Amino acid sequence: MIVITKPNITEERIQEIVAHIERANVQAHVSRGTDRTVIGIIGKAEPTLAEHLRQMKGVDNVVKISKSYKLASRDFHPDDTVIEINGVKIGGEHMVVMGGPCAVESPQQIDEIARLVKAAGGQVLRGGAFKPRTGPYSFQGVGVEGLIMMAEAGKKHGLLTITEVMTPEYVDVCAEYADILQVGTRNMQNFDLLRKLGTIRKPVLLKRGFSATYDEFLNAAEYILAGGNPNVMLCERGIRTFETYTRNTLDLSAIPVLQQLSHLPVISDPSHGTGRRELVEPMAKASVAAGANGLIIEMHTDPDNSMTGDGVQSLFPDQFAGLLKDLEKLAALVGKKFDTAKESAEAFAVWQK
Amino acid sequence: MIVITKPNITEERIQEIVAHIERANVQAHVSRGTDRTVIGIIGKAEPTLAEHLRQMKGVDNVVKISKSYKLASRDFHPDDTVIEINGVKIGGEHMVVMGGPCAVESPQQIDEIARLVKAAGGQVLRGGAFKPRTGPYSFQGVGVEGLIMMAEAGKKHGLLTITEVMTPEYVDVCAEYADILQVGTRNMQNFDLLRKLGTIRKPVLLKRGFSATYDEFLNAAEYILAGGNPNVMLCERGIRTFETYTRNTLDLSAIPVLQQLSHLPVISDPSHGTGRRELVEPMAKASVAAGANGLIIEMHTDPDNSMTGDGVQSLFPDQFAGLLKDLEKLAALVGKKFDTAKESAEAFAVWQK
Amino acid sequence: MIVITKPNITEERIQEIVAHIERANVQAHVSRGTDRTVIGIIGKAEPTLAEHLRQMKGVDNVVKISKSYKLASRDFHPDDTVIEINGVKIGGEHMVVMGGPCAVESPQQIDEIARLVKAAGGQVLRGGAFKPRTGPYSFQGVGVEGLIMMAEAGKKHGLLTITEVMTPEYVDVCAEYADILQVGTRNMQNFDLLRKLGTIRKPVLLKRGFSATYDEFLNAAEYILAGGNPNVMLCERGIRTFETYTRNTLDLSAIPVLQQLSHLPVISDPSHGTGRRELVEPMAKASVAAGANGLIIEMHTDPDNSMTGDGVQSLFPDQFAGLLKDLEKLAALVGKKFDTAKESAEAFAVWQK
Amino acid sequence: MIVITKPNITEERIQEIVAHIERANVQAHVSRGTDRTVIGIIGKAEPTLAEHLRQMKGVDNVVKISKSYKLASRDFHPDDTVIEINGVKIGGEHMVVMGGPCAVESPQQIDEIARLVKAAGGQVLRGGAFKPRTGPYSFQGVGVEGLIMMAEAGKKHGLLTITEVMTPEYVDVCAEYADILQVGTRNMQNFDLLRKLGTIRKPVLLKRGFSATYDEFLNAAEYILAGGNPNVMLCERGIRTFETYTRNTLDLSAIPVLQQLSHLPVISDPSHGTGRRELVEPMAKASVAAGANGLIIEMHTDPDNSMTGDGVQSLFPDQFAGLLKDLEKLAALVGKKFDTAKESAEAFAVWQK
């Protein structure tokens, strides 16, 4: 951490700042420039020290050199985190595909889609039982019933399941039925929810807030990790920009950046990231080429009649299957192993007994 | 609502769309252009109809003409909402100032600040007991104790109190101690929290998400209103842009826009909106000139040592008092009545018995 | 300037960096931290030194402490720049209003509007002869003819004139006819145009690029100043954000920020900054309350039929006159002197002889 | 085009709007809704009609259905444009790589880099002779000398050349020496420059403005096409967002979107798009997977000492060569033919005679 003073600061002010630093049990190293003085801080300071220093008179800026997150950082954990759930590995060289509808609508719907996700080579069934909607009059999901329908479909077809949890009080019931809990983009900084997810051990897929910086994203993951749950996946799902043609702007640089800053698996969501069916395929491929550890893709058997209106970004089952075939070849080119249908069939054999 | 088709759509597709519309018990009005067909929908459609139509084959775009929020709309409620709390009026021609520290730190701190807010002519004491922090290792607030300290300071000095609530399960305890509950920018779309706030009657100050559109902001307010709580204030607190010199970019156009679209009071937060003490004064004045119904301003007796690091954006007590004097004159020029110290002293007389 | 190294850099690398710095005739001050080393640079370095250091192996970041612009900086020129043109002062305590149509359309149109701008108390007539348009098929302005029409209208009614210049080769002809040359938002970083404007002495109003940072904006002004033309005004005209309800988001914080960083006058453009007539009045008032040195406002006698389509953001003449009356009172409250009709009539008396 | 009226508009106003439309020699089709009226316009209207209608009293919104650009649109030109320059094809199934330094520095530097670009399998040599720089005191390029150095290096090594032109008056000299002229991001809406480029026939690579929408980007291309020059390539080079870790946010969705809306080749610039060397490789691969028609990549033999400071985003020659090998395999997977070293050697044989 470095403190940069305002020009022409008095010696007395400098000494006040130094004294403040030393009271925090770290060392101050003063460097007087032509018009400004720079004070380096040596040692492990409390996170609040920077905040206090920034407020002191005569201080122009405080530059943090170390990151504010620790457990999420690759500095702390150099090897890739690989999360294993019932034989399916997520992270490192393993690539997964999560597929399914925006919302669970009925037992028939989710069962049929699960069958198709499995047949196409997917490993995880996605589906929302609780839906975050911009307005209160839109369809809000079928609730706990949906969790049950999805758990049954997953079990029957040998798929893991992932579903969104929106509030701390529903964490336990979601964890009972689903294999992976998803935190949506609007809840990335719902700190009470993150803290609650830190108390369980079920894997969590944390979606990036649509205007969150990489630093904020990793700090949000840190909340879960700091609570004791090491099973966190990061998900890039598009950021908000000035462009309105696409629903969001999928930031694929996030994939290599997050993998460099952190050891956690990074999943890409080209469906929400673009909001347009015809862009899902090229952006899914681009995600894999950029090094994603997995994809979460919306697929629907009847997208024209999906209950949430997200059908416009859902692939048809045959498109989904075709895409997965292409992804398998692409994954091989970038050193990823995509556990296709055949392999996962074996992996699931034990689990289904 | 208008459906715009893709170019050269077949007559059969048009009839499918028309049939879909008519099944929703509204009328379709077909207008065939040179290369596209436009289908107007006449009557009150369910909110999900647009979503379904957008997904249908042959549909290029669906343009909503009516807004998705109703109770928050000025179309629905032409007169300004004026919220009265213990004699203090918020909304319409009445202007209020809410002042206080970022976080409640100790009984002495909040008592002294309350005394100064009151003396300067403020009507509401702000202070956080639960603090949303980007990282898990930062100071997270003193919790329920802080609510009690603030309630006592407010009562003693004749001020209303406002505090942030972050999760549904704390709504009741916050409502017990504070006069106004604040929803922070990161929770603007925490729908479970909004729903819970719809079940109480305490006034709610809803802060705009830092990347939320006006439409999303009003839809978030709609969640609370639709639950049955009509006492909602909107708060512009800065949006995220590419600029890093300021903490946020305070969007003052939001004030006249929201007042035009909605009847709810609009409060401006120049402290978080800029993140720099020297910008609070000009932006507070600009907010009043733009027509704000009130301001929420951070003030601290010892900003260099505030526990959250927000001291850099806190005014010193004398700056705060000087600013309020200037705001009184400005308010008069734009047709607002700023209930200054003297008037509010009377207003609070009854309340304090 | 401070160089922050990567963690665990070798002593040899540090010495390479130090040697590089010393070759640039400035001093290096090494400060070794627990895992990183910080090297302060003392003395006036060439602007390219930072760029080179940033590229060196072992360097993590280079933090500039001094600004890259000098002539535009208040550090260099503590007093406000006041530009005087034919008795009209712009900058410091003086406030001006520039009004007129988006585009000059005909001699009658510009003459009638000039008369009304003058009567309302404005000092400068705005009008475009060359129009930058998003698409090639839109109306592109009437060209040099328009410059002549506007010069005549300005002279007849005792108003200064301002017009946009889009390319270096038209600078001379625009400077011949207009009193102030405007650089539009799309040309803020048209460096050849800026260089050319540095060679003349006519005042230049430089509009902020719609996605330019404050730093880039001041560096653009520096191009003109460095060329030898000290008469530059900065104009905030709205930035591009995710919001689509308004045409741009007028960033009023820019006013106090730019006035703090620079000595140049800051003008606000609430017409382009909002793109909606009903927002011009509140944002004009807010601009003055925030401390603007002037306003540039679109006004049209027949906005429904303006040739550029910007009529939607143009005030009607009576609205314009009413607004100026209100601005006069507001200006007085924030320590600005608005040279109203009466005063400017005298100021122009000499000029018109 | 559709006109949406304000609620409860009078019949008289509707007739005024209809009359205005009919005077423009197109048909009006009125559709009266519950509270609003929608007026469809049938026939080919002038571009200014929308602008005028938007300004009329009683009009709430005008929705354009047709696009404002024509020649750039795929509707107008369904087949991919393939630009052939001396045997090198750009567009359609052909993929090209343009490599080289940010700036031409010396004959030795550009010759050595050209040799390496060629050996790695690149087809085009990039290099700036005129550099757009944020501040006036940074290195501004070596000028015309640089054009000559680059032309010689290109000729000697059998590479096409591309260089940036910043102002209309330099178009001719740049066109004399370079095979492709580049318009930089800051000049995307320098309309005089675009018009001038429409008058020549040399291919133009038009970079997207860093905050330009797809629509604005295609309209800028339209300026060049409308002038008579059909040889335009579009280049995605990163947009400005709130993220500061990367220099820009490379928007890869732009690739499939632009290819869908337009027939022009789309080139990706992962160097400026990220600003960090370690991100160039993953984003180059992702660009190809997303369907890019080519890449423009910075490569430098001594990036630590590049004169512009862009060395931080330049690949080392061996990284560049390794990347091109990987791209060749990826290109094959997405149906692109990457004209590698061997093939291009033949293609250039004729050209070099």
Tell me which chain C residues have a C-beta less than 8 angstroms from the C-beta of D303: 55
Domain contains C186: yes
Q: Does D88 score more than 80 pLDDT?
A: yes
Tell me what pLDDT residue B353 has.
37
pLDDT above 90 coverage of chain A, percent: 73
Fill in the DSSP letter of residue B86: T
Chain D 60-99, residues with CB within 8 Å of chain C CB atoms: 68-69
Tell me what pLDDT residue B283 has.
98
User: Would an 8 Å CB–CB cutoff place C279 in contact with chain B?
Assistant: yes
What's the CA gap between B273 and B280, in Å, rounded? 8
Comparing alpha-carbon positions, the chain B residue that sits nearest to A198 is: B136
User: Would an 8 Å CB–CB cutoff place D241 in contact with chain A?
Assistant: yes
Q: Does A233 score more than 90 pLDDT?
A: yes
Tell me what pLDDT residue C187 has.
97
What's the CA gap between B87 and B84, in Å, rounded? 6
Task: Give the contacts of C137 (CB within 8 A, at least 6 positions apart).
Answer: D47, D68, D226
Q: Work out the pLDDT band at C6, boundaries 50, 70, 90.
A: confident
Tell me which of B158 and A1 has the higher pLDDT. B158
Strand partners, C83: C90
Q: Indicate if D89 and D59 belong to the same structural domain.
A: no
- What mean pLDDT is predicted for residues C182-207? 97
What is the pairing mode between strands D266-268 and A37-42? unpaired
Considering Cα of B300, then B306, then B308, then B312, what sign does the dihedral take?
A: positive
Domain contains C75: no
CATH number, domain containing residue A153? 3.20.20.70
What's the CA gap between C330 and A41, in Å, rounded? 47
Burial of residue B12 (number of CB atoms within 10 Å: 0-12, 13-18, 19+): exposed
Tell me what pLDDT residue A5 has.
86
What's the CA gap between B16 and B3, in Å, rounded? 13
Tell me which chain A residues have a C-beta less than 8 angstroms from the C-beta of C8: none
| Residue D13, domain extent | 2-63
Tell me which of A259 and D60 has the higher pLDDT. A259
Partner residue opposite D223 with nearest CB, options C136, C187, C306: C136
Q: Indicate if A145 and A269 belong to the same structural domain.
A: yes
Mean pLDDT of chain D: 91
CB contact under 8 A, A334 and D285: yes
Q: Indicate if B283 and B188 belong to the same structural domain.
A: yes
Rounded to the nearest 5 percent, the helix, strand and coil shares of chain D are 40, 20, 40
Task: Give the contacts of C214 (CB within 8 A, at least 6 positions apart).
Answer: B243, B245, C254, C257, C258, C261
Residue owning tokens 């100071």: B139
What's the CA gap between C218 and A14, in Å, rounded? 30
- DSSP string of B110-122, one letter each residue: HHHHHHHHHHHT-
CB contact under 8 A, B2 and D63: yes
CB contact under 8 A, B54 and A312: yes
- DSSP string of B236-278, one letter each residue: E--B--S--SSSSB--TTHHHHHHHHB-S-EEE-HHHHH--HH
Domain contains D75: no
Query: What is the value of ipTM here, to two decimals?
Result: 0.91
Q: Work out the pLDDT band at C340, boundaries 50, 70, 90.
A: low
SS3 B3: strand
Q: Please say whether the beta carbons of C58 and C17 come within 8 A.
A: yes
Domain end call among A63, A94, A110: A63
Task: Give the contacts of D21 (CB within 8 A, at least 6 positions apart).
Answer: D3, D27, D28, D39, D41, D49, D53
Q: What are phi and psi of D306, to 5 degrees?
A: -65, 150
Q: Indicate if D88 and D52 belong to the same structural domain.
A: no
**If we measure between CA atoms, which residue out of C155, C314, C49 comes closest to residue D137?**
C49
- What mean pLDDT is predicted for residues D283-300? 98
CB contact under 8 A, A312 and B187: no
- What mean pLDDT is predicted for residues D162-188? 97
Domain contains C222: yes
What's the CA gap between C124 and C151, in Å, rounded? 11
What's the CA gap between C233 and C91, in Å, rounded? 8
Q: What is the largest CA-CA distance in chain D?
A: 76
Q: Indicate if D55 and D181 belong to the same structural domain.
A: no
Q: Interior CA angle at D182 toward D178 and D188, to 5°? A: 155
Length of chain B: 353
Neighbour-count burial for C111-145, b at 16+ CB within 10 Å, e otherwise: bbbbbbbbebbbbbbbbbbbbbbbbbbbbbbbeee
Q: Indicate if B58 and B102 belong to the same structural domain.
A: no
Comparing alpha-carbon positions, the chain D residue that sits nearest to C305 is: D52
Q: Indicate if D286 and D187 belong to the same structural domain.
A: yes
Q: Indicate if D151 and D242 belong to the same structural domain.
A: yes
Q: Please say whether the beta carbons of D299 and D261 come within 8 A.
A: no
Residue among A62, A137, A308, A310 with most chain B CBs within 10 A, to mutate = A137
Tell me what pLDDT residue D240 has.
97
- DSSP string of C149-182, one letter each residue: HHHHHHHHHT-EEEEE--SGGGHHHHHHH-SEEE
Q: Indicate if C138 and C280 belong to the same structural domain.
A: yes
Q: How many CA atoms lie within 13 A of D41 on its CB side?
A: 27
What is the pairing mode between strands B124-126 and B94-100? parallel
Domain count, chain B: 2
What's the CA gap between B54 and B75, in Å, rounded? 26
Tell me which chain A residues have a C-beta less than 8 angstroms from the C-beta of C60: 65
Q: Indicate if A47 and A97 belong to the same structural domain.
A: no
Distance from CA of C66 to the nearest CA of A (A): 9
Domain contains B310: yes
Domain end call among D35, D63, D91: D63
Ordered alpha helix ranges (H), C191-276: 191-198, 214-226, 254-261, 270-274
Tell me what pLDDT residue C339 has.
66
Q: Provide the 10 A C-beta neighbour count for residue C4.
A: 18
User: Would an 8 Å CB–CB cutoff place D226 in contact with chain C?
Assistant: yes
Distance from CA of C238 to the nearest CA of A (A): 14
Give Cα B2 distance to the centre of its chain: 31
CATH number, domain containing residue B22? 3.30.70.1140
Domain contains C76: no
Domain contains B76: no
Q: Tokens for D18? A: 């209809």
Q: What are phi and psi of D66, to 5 degrees?
A: -85, 155
User: Would an 8 Å CB–CB cutoff place C36 in contact with chain A?
Assistant: yes
pLDDT in tens, A34-58: 677 888 887 777 767 887 888 888 8
- What mean pLDDT is predicted for residues D311-338? 94
Provide the Cα torsion C225, C230, C231, C234; round to 10°: 40
**Is residue A201 within a helix (H) or strand (E), and if so which, with residue range?**
none
Residues in chain B predicted with pLDDT less than 70, given as ranges, are 34, 47, 339-353
What's the CA gap between B287 and B268, in Å, rounded? 6
Domain contains D240: yes
Q: Indicate if A58 and A130 belong to the same structural domain.
A: no
Q: Please say whether the beta carbons of A62 and A50 come within 8 A.
A: yes
> Residue C344: left (phi > 0), alpha (psi -120 to 50), or beta?
alpha
Tell me what pLDDT residue D303 has.
86
Mean pLDDT of chain A: 91
Burial of residue B87 (number of CB atoms within 10 Å: 0-12, 13-18, 19+): middle
What's the CA gap between D212 and D292, in Å, rounded? 19
C-alpha dist (Å) from residue C172 to C104, C166, C200, C305: 19, 12, 8, 31
- What mean pLDDT is predicted for residues A232-242? 98
**If we measure between CA atoms, which residue out of D262, D268, D98 comes closest to residue D179?**
D98
Q: Indicate if D15 and D101 belong to the same structural domain.
A: no
Domain end call among C63, C94, C110: C63
- What mean pLDDT is predicted for residues D91-95? 96
What's the CA gap between A325 and A305, in Å, rounded? 27
**If we measure between CA atoms, which residue out of C153, C95, C140, C134 comes closest to residue C301?**
C153
What's the CA gap between A168 and D185, in Å, rounded? 46
- What mean pLDDT is predicted for residues D230-253? 97
Considering Cα of D257, then D259, then D264, then D269, what sign does the dihedral take?
A: positive
CB contact under 8 A, B7 and D75: yes
Indicate the range of D49-63, D207-221, D260-274 predicted with least confidence: D49-63
Comparing alpha-carbon positions, the chain A residue that sits nearest to D278 is: A256
